[in-house]
A and B are shown apart, each in its own frame.
Chain A
Amino acid sequence: MAAASEGSSGGEVGGVYQHHAQREVCASRAKYREGRRPRAVKVYTINLESRYLLIQGVPALGVMKELVEQFALYGTIEEYNPLDDYPAEEFTEVYLIKFQKIQSARVAKRKLDERSFFGSLLHVCYAPEFETVQETREKLQDRRKYIAKVTCCKDQLQVKKQNLNTCFKKTFQPDAPAFHTPEVATNTWNLPTYVPDPQQSPCYKLPLRNTASVSKECCQSTLIAPQFTRDCAEASEYCSQKTPTPQSMHRGTCNIPAHCSLQRKFACDKGLNRFMPRTTQLQERKRRRDEGTKFALIGKDINNTEIIIGPRLPEVPKIDMDDESLNTSASLIRNKLKEVTHPVQAPELPAENSQTKPTVKQRRRI
């Protein structure tokens, strides 16, 4: 039953237009013509339209403000005034409203004509006779522009299509000639899907891969934050534990900041969202400082700091990384850099030896 009714209704949709169309449509058309506007069989041209609307049948109750508010719903009103001399029915007033745009006037007329307003029916009509020559000129030009825009869009669709295709050829030809099959060329709507991914992603992956190969295993998964922190920790481990030749050490220092900046981006994004009370911040900072000195001490047994005095690296700002392991590795790296550039202070030396091993363990635990 349900299926049958569905079927019939589906048939009707087509059917009204296909088979019963003429009778149905004729009947409705006749009704429409006789019923809705018995007097006025009217053809609207651009000559008849206007930004000026004449509103008749406004009850003389001092409701100009309300009337203007009502019309202002449909667009900016440039001017409005009562037309005292205009012949009006008793106890009603006539108003003239000038919209900024003709489209507003159109909508306002459609919405408010024959609407009840304070107990009286409004009659809204265009009033092009109030236009100046210039206003009429602009109106005609706007219509010209509108038609040009609408029809040109249709015509230029094909031209654009072609342009697009040539554009694609320019950019992508070396990579993938397969994308320029005639099917694609004729189908505009599929084109945008080719723009973003398949071609370009390799392009921006490439530099990353390059850096990865340069800095070896320690930054292979730069884009995945959690893994990255571990890698970073490892990297720092390498830096501190390997007995580096000056060369490899130099390379290490060059690569690490690159990670840091990447890492910082991730961490900042996370950290910005989080509020931390100042006391906690201070504690955290102290903890970090302590930790930092610890790690600084670890690195101390590498004694070639004096040898590597390369170009001074940009100082990494101390930022709360939001994640303990990130903080740890960040401070580790920071201290490493500090250590590389500044000679280690003497007074901290005694405590250092006893702490070396446990700190290494701590770091591993993280």
Chain B
Amino acid sequence: MSEKQQDLLGLGRLEYLQALVTEFQVTESSEAKEQVLANLANFAYDPKNYDYLRQLKVLDLFLDTLTEDNDTLVEFALGGLCNLCLDKINKDYILEADGVAAVINCLSCSNEETVMSAVTALMYLTTPQSRQQITALPVVECMLRFSLSANRRLSNLATIFLEDYCSPLQVEEARNLTKHTALGIPLPKN
């Protein structure tokens, strides 16, 4: 009985997610798009949904949306990626699709939430294979700047990134580089 109900619920969940994905692809309204994407990104928080989300190619949907012009869409898509990228299958999929580069690009966004999601997602996507790409010099440099941010949340995340994911040598190198260049990625706006 309960198993049947669960099956029904499971089916319902998949159908519901399918409806969201369909609406996201079909709708012309950017507002509806945002709302639906937020919905999907929140579903990505719960590991129970991962099978469905993979089935519906929501990972691709998130990754594709990272290149949209709409800031809010990028924020939500990155939030979704940040939510589901700890799962090993999802992580492998994102790494395979070169999601790291797309996420690194988002570090220069002006939206704080996006940037924070990006920092966390990068930490969660770090594997022996992806480490080199994730702790590339420009990224470490960026993190150094973030670690000085007035936003406590951002500075905390950047500090963790520098302390736990980078070698002291890398940090030192990036520090030397920032000393000599006046250029830098602007801090995200509030």
Chain A residues within 8 Å of B157, by CB: 47, 136
Question: When the two chains form their complex, are residues B160 and A133 in contact, meaning their CB atoms are under 8 A apart?
Answer: yes
Chain A residues with CB under 8 Å of B16's CB are 17, 21, 25
Which listed segment binds A: B77-85, B102-110, B170-178?
B77-85
* A22 proximity list for chain B (CB < 8 A): 19, 22
Chain B residue nearest to A154 in the complex (CB): B47
Which residues of chain B in 11-27 are interfacial with respect to chain A, using CB atoms and an 8 Å cutoff? Answer: 11-12, 15-16, 19-20, 22-23
Do B38 and A42 touch across chains, with their CB atoms under 8 A apart? yes
Contact (Cβ within 8 A) A131 B19: no
Contact B79 A147, beta carbon cutoff 8 Å:
no
> In the assembly, what is the distance between CA of A48 and CA of B39, in Å?
16
A46 adjacent to chain B (CB < 8 Å): yes
Q: Does A13 belong to the interface (CB within 8 Å)? A: yes
- Looking at the assembled complex, report how far the CB atom of A164 sits from the nearest CB atom of chain B, in whole angstroms: 22
B45 touches A44 (CB 8 A): yes
Interface residues on A, range: 35 or more
Q: Which of B115-123, B127-135, B136-144, B180-188 contacts A (4 or more CB under 8 A)?
A: B115-123
What residues of chain B lie closer than 8 Å to A136, measured between beta carbons?
A: 153, 156-157, 160
Contact check: which of A21, A48, A137 meets B15 at CB < 8 Å?
Answer: A21
A75 at the B interface (CB under 8 A): no
Asked if B23 and A45 sit within 8 Å, CB to CB, the answer is no
How long is the Cα–Cα vector from A25 to B87 in the complex, in angstroms?
A: 28
Number of interface residues of B (CB under 8 A): 44
A143 near B156 (CB under 8 angstroms)? no
Q: Which of A130, A148, A151 has the most CB of B within 10 A?
A: A151
B67 within 8 A of A: no
**B-side interface residues toward A, CB under 8 Å?**
8, 11-12, 15-16, 19-20, 22-23, 34-36, 38-39, 41-42, 45, 47, 50, 72, 75-76, 79-80, 82-83, 86-89, 113, 116-117, 120, 123-124, 151-153, 156-157, 159-160, 164
Binding site for B on A (CB under 8 A): 13-14, 16-18, 21-22, 25-26, 29, 33, 41-48, 128-133, 136-137, 140, 143-144, 147-148, 150-151, 155
Told that A17-B12, A17-B15 touch, could you supply 20 new A-B pairs with CB distance under 8 A?
A13-B8, A14-B8, A22-B22, A25-B15, A25-B16, A33-B35, A33-B39, A41-B34, A41-B72, A43-B75, A43-B76, A45-B117, A45-B120, A129-B152, A130-B152, A140-B124, A144-B124, A147-B47, A148-B86, A151-B89
